[in-house]
Every structure is written in C-alpha cells, then in structure tokens.
Amino acid sequence: MTVTAGDRRHSMFPVPVGDRGWRRRERELGDRLAFLHGEVCDALGIELSRGTVLASSESWTGVVSDLARLCVDRLRAMAGHADEADEAGLRTCLLILDLHELAFDLGQHERDRRTRRLAACSEGLARMRVLPHSTDLLDRACEELVRRCGFGRAVLSRVDDGVWRPWMAYFSNGDEFESWFAGWVDQPIRLEGRTPETTLLTECRPVAVYDTANTVVHRSIIVDSGRSDSYVVAPLMHGTSVVGFLHADHHPASRRVDDFDRDVLWAFAEGFSHLYERIVLAERLRTQRDQAREILSSAVESVSDFCDAGIDFSPHAAVGAMPRTPVAPHPLATGHPGGELTARESEVLELMVVGATNGAIAETLVISEDTVKSHVKHILRKLGAANRSQAIARSLGIAVHGDGV
C-alpha cells in the first residue's frame, strides 16, 4: 500500500478555550498519541505496552520521543535495503512528522497549562483579597489550592517554637479528611533532623520532594497516614519568621510533583502570607477604632449627664458667693453722666454685686489685683458713687441716702 500525505489520518486540532476547552484539548492530544502509538507498532511490527504509559499526561512527551526514536532507528536500518525503503520508508517518515507535530502540540499545551495554573493562582488570591476576616482567609486557602491551582489535596499547618501542628486541609476526595487527617489536627510534630520541613525554618523557601521513599520525611503523617509518594511544601512567612506550612500533592492521582508544582505553591504561599498580614492589620485597626468610638461615646454620655445635672458653671460660682436658691437678677446700671462702663468694668461690677473681694475678682478674671483696684476706681467715678456699697446699690437701681430720693 502506498501512503501519501493525503492519507494521514489526523490534522492539526484547533486549540479550544476556557476550562472545558482546556480539558477537551488534553483528551484530544491523548487520543492522537494513542492512535500514533498503534500506528508505530503496526508499521514497525513490534508490540509496545500502552496501558499505564498513556494514562498519565505528564509522561506523554517522553512516550512521543521514544516512538520517534524507534522510527528513526528503523529508517537507518532500511538504508541498505532498497526494496523496503519505498513504501515502508515513506510511511515511517510520515509517522516521524506526525510525532514531531504532536510533540510540538504537547509542548504548547504544557506551556498553556502552566500559564493557566499561574493565572488561576493569581485569580484565587484576588478572590481572597476581598474576604472580611482572617478566619475566612484561612478557611479558603486549601480549597483554592485544590480547586484552582491544580493540586489533589492541600494542608495548612501552624509553626510555633520548632513545632509543626497540622491545622486545616482540603481534599479532592472528601472522605480523606475523616479517614486520617482529623486525627492529626493540632497534634505537635517536633521539627528536627534533616526533613524538608526543618530545612524551611532556616532557608525560608519551598521544597519539592520527588520521591518520599528515598527522602528523609516525617513518615508517620506523610507516608503512613497520608500515603503520599511525592509532595511540595512552602513556608508561610510573617516578616522574617516562618509561622506556617502549606503542603500539596496530586493524590489520589498517580502523578508525581515537579518543579513547576513547587513554583505554583510558592507563588500562592507568598501571596497568602501578604494577604494574611494585611487582613490581620485591618482587623486590629478596626478593633482600635471601635474601642476609640466606645471611649468617645462614653465621654460624650458623661458630659451630657453632667450638663443635665443643673450645675451652675457661671463665673460667680467660682467665688463661692452665689446664692443657693435662684434669685431673679436685677438689671445693672452701666450708664452714668460720668461715662459708659467698659466690658471689663461691667464684669468687675457684676462680681462686686455678688460680694466678691478684689482678690476673688482678680482670680476669676485672671488679672492682677492692682488692675481690679483700678477698674473699681473707674466704676465708682462713672457711677458717681463714694464707695463700693453705693456703686452696687446704684447698679441695682436702689436709692441710697444722699441721692436725693
């Protein structure tokens, strides 16, 4: 059978957009790989296992590379056999072209996937930025990592005085929480030895554990309880101190973590640390604001009660000469042929009327006693009085002996 370019059974697929489109694109790439896998086996007359190899998308690029290498090796073997080089050689060449085309599409898909995960990480942090309370932020962190950032499960832990305490988690398989994690909540795990978590306390940067079987880890929680064969962990920072951990992996999928998983978790952890510091500061400011409002409200209420108590705040109360029972005031005579009293002289006269001494008047008006004496002298002259008593009587409109009344 002669194979021409027109006989190729697939062509370039358009790249769908959106979440469903992205997943559909991955299925299409998997179908193309499965098809070419069968074509290579048929063209080369060999049997290759395809079950678990094609099940995981992270291994597809390696599978394509291996298939292309087999085709190139067959072309080299055909170089000395002209009878085989015609039809079989053309078919093998076309398969190599298809495999290279698929490798390019797989690479583009992986770049798009990484861009999508980073964008989802940024969007998740933006959604959490509007949360009103720090407790809401803590509740959402693990869920955002699993539902938006491409992980299978995530755990948030607290770190204090060299002790790691698992705290919150979100699993794509909801039954896991009660099956093993609930028993670890707030349990102290001493950070010692050469585990990745201990390293984070000093290096303050994320770690990817590619194989827990060949790495020193806290087996009791990571391997025995969590059944994780690889994971990433990033520190949560407060200033320069590590105050928590974020763990994530792809369980229950068989996929192992890679460097990009580490970078995604680190980007999320840094953003989360800043958001948490910001929202805690805002909560403290709101608390201080409410306390200040309460203090001011209490002060206003006290002043209102004081004002409503009927206490006399007039200047005369300070000299101790005000009558205890209300007395209707008499109009003060401030005019006389000798001249009008000044404002200060009127104040002095008012205090004279209630019996204040020169010293008391000076203290009340915050002036010197000599100044008071000068004002009294002017008042007597202007009212035509010989002494203080006559001045007081005339100011109150009371006739005194010698006034011709």
**What's the pLDDT tens digit per position in 274-318?**
999 999 999 999 999 988 988 888 787 777 766 666 555 555 555
Select from 160, 156, 176 the least CA-distant residue to 168. Answer: 156
The per-residue pLDDT for 396 is 80
Instruction: For the chain, list the domains and their CATH numbers.
Output: 5-122 (no CATH), 132-283 (3.30.450.40), 315-395 (1.10.10.10)
Q: Which two tokens stand for residue 314?
A: 């007039």
Strand 163-171 and strand 207-209: the pairing is unpaired
The per-residue pLDDT for 110 is 83
Residue 328 has pLDDT above 70, yes or no: no
Locate tokens 């200047």: which residue?
315
The per-residue pLDDT for 112 is 85
Residue 15 has pLDDT above 60, yes or no: no
Q: Which two tokens stand for residue 401?
A: 């002996």
Q: Which two tokens stand for residue 327?
A: 């007395």
Select from 361, 156, 370 the least CA-distant residue to 245. Answer: 156
The per-residue pLDDT for 56 is 61
Beta bridge partners of residue 153, listed in sequence order: 171, 249
Whole-model pTM above 0.85?
no
Locate tokens 């398969």: which residue?
95
- The side-by-side arrangement of strands in the sheet containing 189-190 is 189-190, 163-171, 153-160, 241-249, 231-238, 207-209
Classify residue 310 as left (phi > 0), alpha (psi -120 to 50) or beta: left
Counting every residue written for the chain, the total comes to 405
| 210-261 pLDDT, tens digit each | 999 999 999 999 999 999 999 999 999 988 899 999 999 999 988 889 999 9
How far apart, in whole angstroms, are the C-alpha atoms of residue 151 and residue 171?
Answer: 9
Select from 121, 170, 120, 119 the least CA-distant residue to 143. Answer: 170
Give the per-residue SS3 of the chain: CCCCHHHCCCCCCCCCCHHHHHHHHHHHHHHHHHHHHHHHHHHHCCCCCCCCCCCCHHHHHHHHHHHHHHHHHHHHHHCCCHHHHCHHHHHHHHHHHHHHHHHHHHHHHHHHHHHHHHHHHHHHHHHHHCCCCHHHHHHHHHHHHHHCCCCCEEEEEEEECCEEEEEEEEECCCCHHHHHHHHHCCCCEECCCCCHHHHHHHHCCCEEECCHHHCCCCHHHHHHHCCCCCEEEEEEEECCEEEEEEEEECCCCCCCCCHHHHHHHHHHHHHHHHHHHHHHHHHHHHHHHHHHHHHHHHHHHHHHHHHHCCCCCCHHHHHCCCCCCCCCCCCCCCCCCCCCCCHHHHHHHHHHHCCCCHHHHHHHHCCCHHHHHHHHHHHHHHHCCCCHHHHHHHHCCCCCCCCCC
To 10 degrees, what angle do helices 369-383 and 388-395 make? 60
Q: Is the dihedral of CA 254, 189, 158, 161 positive or negative?
A: negative
Mean pLDDT (whole number) for 101-116: 87
308 vs 19: which has the higher pLDDT? 308
The per-residue pLDDT for 9 is 42
Q: pLDDT band at residue 16, thresholds of 50, 70 and 90?
A: very low
Mean pLDDT of the chain: 83
Q: Which two tokens stand for residue 387?
A: 């002494």
